[in-house]
Amino acid sequence: MKYPELEKVAITNNTCLTLRVRGHLIKPRLANQIIHTYSVQRLRTEIHAAYPDGSVIVEPLPSEEVENESQDTTQSIADLGVSHAVEKRLIKAGINTIEALTAMTAQDVIDIKGIAECSLQEIEEALTKMNLSLQEAGNE
């Protein structure tokens, strides 16, 4: 008997809750958490039933897109996984790639209108998860 292949999906959690989806913890305000499922449509239906307001989004990913995924710093700022508000402020300030962000110091980030200490901490945590960091002051 041949079993169906697992499909890869990206789940975006726009809620303030940590969710458990098929054994995976999806942290609050996390974009594009990749999980595997046998049926994207069934998962999408289950998520939509639980979160009909669209606060949790399931998007199928082509397998080659996931296989080519890397910790490349030229990734879009959307790949950082910060809250939508922080992402929007970075983009508005012209910071569109992770490479551009990692070239900045913590003070440079704080100087962006609408970015406070808590947003800076969120950015630093997201970069740490990617084994990246902001520049040290004086190392620019």
Q: How many CB atoms lie within 10 A of CB 47?
A: 20
Please answer whether residues 95 and 48 qualify as being in contact, where contact means their C-beta atoms are separated by less than 8 angstroms. Answer: no
Q: Which helix (H) or strand (E) holds 40?
A: helix 40-50
Question: What is the pLDDT at residue 73?
Answer: 46
Report, in angstroms and rounded to the nearest whole number, the Rg of the chain calculated over CA atoms: 17
Task: Kindly tell me the burial class for residue 133, based on how many C-beta atoms sit within 10 Å of its own C-beta (0-12, 13-18, 19 or more).
Answer: exposed
Question: What is the pLDDT at residue 67?
Answer: 45
- For the chain, how many helices (H) and strands (E)? 6, 5
Please answer whether residues 71 and 132 qualify as being in contact, where contact means their C-beta atoms are separated by less than 8 angstroms. Answer: yes
- The domains located in the chain, with CATH, are 7-67 (no CATH), 77-129 (1.10.150)
Question: What is the pLDDT at residue 23?
Answer: 77
Please answer whether residues 79 and 32 qualify as being in contact, where contact means their C-beta atoms are separated by less than 8 angstroms. Answer: yes
Q: For residue 28, give the amino acid letter.
A: P
Written as tens digits, the pLDDT of the chain (140 aa) is: 455 677 888 888 888 888 888 778 888 888 888 888 888 888 888 988 988 898 888 888 875 544 444 444 467 888 888 888 898 899 888 888 888 888 899 999 999 998 999 999 999 999 988 888 898 876 54
